[in-house]
Structures are given as C-alpha cells and as structure tokens.
Structure 1
C-alpha cells in the first residue's frame, strides 16, 4: 500500500469513507492551481482546491515492469481556471501534476498520493478537455543519445552551442496586425535575422505565450501558428535570433562554426546505394 498517515489509513480501512480526489497543477511559469471532485472547495496545505471544474479521473494502473503508467483526466474548461486559449498557447505543456486523495470530513488526516508526473497529450473538444498524465517512469521509455545529422543537433544558445542570446534578443512593440499569425514591427535587424527564432509576448491578451518565427521579412514577422488570442497594436513581443542549423549560417551569422554540432560531410543513404555492386 502507498504510504500515508495512520489516521488516514484507519479511515480507508473503515466500512464508510468520506474521500475526495485532488489534483495539484503547476505550470512552468509558476502558475499553481488545485482542483477536486468534491462538491465544495477544499484547502489542503494552504492551497484552495476548487470544485467547479468537473474533473473526472480514469482508472489508475501501475505496472512493475516500468511500462508507462496510464491515467487520463477529463474536465470542463473553466474561464477562471482553465481556458482553451491557454491550452492552445502551450502554457500547460509539461506541467507538473500530483493526484492524491483526502478525507474531506477531516483534512487533518493528511493525504494519500496516487500519482505524480507531467501532463502529456492534451485534447480539446468544445468546452471539455482530456489530459494524459505521464508518470515518472515514462522518462525511462524515452530514447536518449545523439544521432548523426547533416544539420546541427542542438538549440541556439544552449551550453553545447555557446552562442550568447542576450545581444541577439530584442523587444518590440507591434505597430500593425496583419493577421493572427503576422505582425509588423520597427526593427533595424536584417531580413531573416529572426527566422526560426522564438517570439514571446510579454503584454496584452497573449502575455506569456511563446511561438516560433516562421518568417522575418523586413518589418514583418510571421509566426508558425496563429496566436490563441487577438493581437493588438502596442503589444510587446520579445524576439530572439533564429538559426536554420546549417554550417553556413553557423559560420556567417554567429561565427560559431567550431561549436557546430552536426556532420554535414557524412555521405547519405543515396550515396551509399550509388556505389556499384561487384559480383
């Protein structure tokens, strides 16, 4: 049995129980919220767990062979807690989650932890959502290591890359909104400087949302996907230089060819199969 307090263990062993399931959700940006399937709010360890979102868990299954634990949580999108725009913007990607039960009639008995992990795939339909919870053992199923690649394998600005992003990061105000994925700014950077870079909105309805830059053409910035909420003139956007991960860009744009993490000169499969076969 999972460890818990003697008082809660005794309650679980009784013939009648008063249990409620709680979820503690913490995003990467520090946003923390609690939810419960109880019919009223509960305060556990100083955090209020709201009951208005209609959370419903699936059955929890844990195997001893380190296979991926399965648990899905279904619920309603609540304007005050969970919004469709936040899901689309990726604010909940990789969020930490804890699932536990308490005795709602006596919260002083402590809690019994059922699952701890991260949010995986999130599906949305109308005003409902379904989120996959991946347990800690899921990381053991992920492939680790490096592969040969014609392009650079690492992200611009990482420790392996070594390029300092500070001098290559600018903040701009949106001067014109062309579409949900296209805006105009006033920049002296050359065309293409921010292509494949990162765009972070710091003010406005999309504050905190991060997107990738598909195209930087003069004063025009086009994003990979439309922003979840309307962009308005004056919104502040932080742009970071982009890299197409080719050795030419690494050398000419960043003078960083010595740290290039790719193998552009290794022959590909087409070259291997082009050699004549001797009988």
Structure 2
C-alpha cells in the first residue's frame, strides 16, 4: 500500500524549507501511553484520529509528547520487499521510560509503537494536515546496559516471518483452559483456587498451608499475585508438593506472608495422567501420542 502524505504537508515539503521533527508514540498492553519528541520542546496533539485497531486513543485529545533529549530512533536496515526492517529505539537508562522491574516483568512485551514526523512551525499540528507516519509495529527485545536501553522495533512485515501450522508431538501443544477451535476448551471452574501465602523461603519457593491438593496438582500451572509487592504479576509453577510451590523463575519482588494469589491447576500435556485422569478432556487432546516416530517408520517390521 503506497504511503499517503497529507496535501498540506506535501505542499510544505515542496517549498524546500522543511520544518519537521520526529516523534515516537508507545502504548503498552495494559494501556499505559508514552510519547516523546526528539525536539527540545514538548508537543501537544489530538491523537483520537489514530484510535482503533489495537490502539486505545479515543480520549487522548490533547496528549503531550515529552521532549526527550536522550532518546533517538534510527534505522539499521529498511527494505522494500518482505524482509523485516531492523529499527532500534535508544534511550538513557535513567528509569524515565524503561525500568528494570518493568523489563523483567515483561510489561513492555507486545507494546505498540508509531514513529512519525510532524511540523513544528505550526502552532497546533494535526494528524490530518501535519503528520507523516514513518513506521508502526510492536516492541521486541529490550537490551539494558549501564547507560542506555535499546529496544527493537518490529514492523508489521515481521508477521509474515512467523511460522504457520503445527508440528506433531506426543504431548498436548495447547495451554490448559484455552478456548477456541483447536484449543483445550476445558471449563476452568473448579480448577482455580484463591490462596494465601503462609511461609516464604525465597522469591521462588513459598508455602500456602491452605493448599491441600495432591502433589503436582499445580505443576505447570500458574500463580497470579492479587496483593503484595508482586500484585498483577504471574509466574508458572515448576513443582507443587504438600502446599509448597516452587516457581520456574524468581518473582521480581519479595514474596511476603499474607500475600494473596490465584493458583490455576497445571497440565503437563500427558494423555493418560492429565487429559484423561485429571481433566476428563480426552476429546480435546491436541497431540498425537500414537504417531510413529521417525525411527519406527524407517526400521521396518521385525520378522
């Protein structure tokens, strides 16, 4: 699709006296919105024309972009075909935008971005007349260092590089309780439990004395903290025995006695132990446990 430049902005370009500056708009999955202009003065603009799709901007009629002297966005490679453009956003590692806690908690995962040029020589730039969008997409990996944080900016062409289809495997390939065609489709009622932390070993291991379920009941499941320093964060469970939870990775913040959480039963994708005995959901097993292996196929039939 060819890029459309507003007629008023194109007329400004044609004069040869170009007064434009770049800006970046980022919206996280939780709705938090941040905007920065690489000019020395803030920018105030009505963003509601960009509302829709994955963007929630209907109420942002006078959004202020911060003047970010320590930020820059640069293109390493830009292609005209289907190869993915490589763009980086670089900012000072001072906690103004990316904090270590947010990075570790993956709060920026899948955040949307828009890089654009706007006219700074008009009093109130508008999207309809004074803005040219350069690139839209999602944030990729964040690479913090002692002085800067580098964020990969993935354009929409990256979606064309994602694999399509499924691979046969003996264990179920979908997450338990996922809904939709080709999913688990098990009703989670009865498998979600509200618990309270009664003992803490470290950021990975803690005890909920009220959890009297069988060993490994929560294994491969998830705990989501409702209160405490980790409120709003979740983590996968590695093992569960006699009320003791061991997580696959440490929580970002300290777990404390009295923290409340929601624990969801886990599924290791096994046909007999999980799909049949634990969840009674064999009709939705998304696996091929009886599919012959490559060795079995090529070995032939023994006499």
TM over 0.5: yes
Shift of 1:272: 3.3
Shift of 1:89: 0.8
Which of residues 169, 173, 192 in structure 1 aligns to 2:196?
173
Contact 1:77 1:84 in 2 (8 A): no
Contact 2:202 2:254 in 1 (8 A): no
Shift of 1:43: 2.0
Give 3-state SS (helix, strand or coil) of 2:240's partner. Answer: strand
Contact 1:195 1:215 in 2 (8 A): yes
Shift of 1:255: 0.4
* Larger mean Cα displacement after TM superposition, 54-63 or 67-76: 54-63
**Where do 1:250-269 residues align within 5 Å?**
250-269=275-294
Shift of 1:256: 0.5
- Pair 1:188–1:75, CA change in 2 (3 A): same
Contact 1:76 1:127 in 2 (8 A): yes
Q: Distance in 1 between matches of 2:166 and 2:42?
A: 48
In the other structure, the counterpart of 2:82 is 66
Q: Distance in 2 between matches of 1:253 and 1:276?
A: 36
Q: Distance in 2 between matches of 1:217 and 1:105?
A: 66
Q: Distance in 2 between matches of 1:233 and 1:22?
A: 45
Give 3-state SS (helix, strand or coil) of 1:156's partner. Answer: coil
Number of residue pairs the alignment of both structures matches: 278
- Pair 1:206–1:18, CA change in 2 (3 A): farther
Shift of 1:15: 3.8
What stretches of structure 2 of length at least 5 have no aligned partner?
Answer: 47-61
What stretches of structure 1 of length at least 5 have no aligned partner?
Answer: none
In the other structure, the counterpart of 1:90 is 106
- Pair 1:183–1:139, CA change in 2 (3 A): same
Give 3-state SS (helix, strand or coil) of 2:13's partner. Answer: helix
Q: Distance in 1 between matches of 2:39 and 2:238?
A: 45
Q: Distance in 2 between matches of 1:210 and 1:53?
A: 35
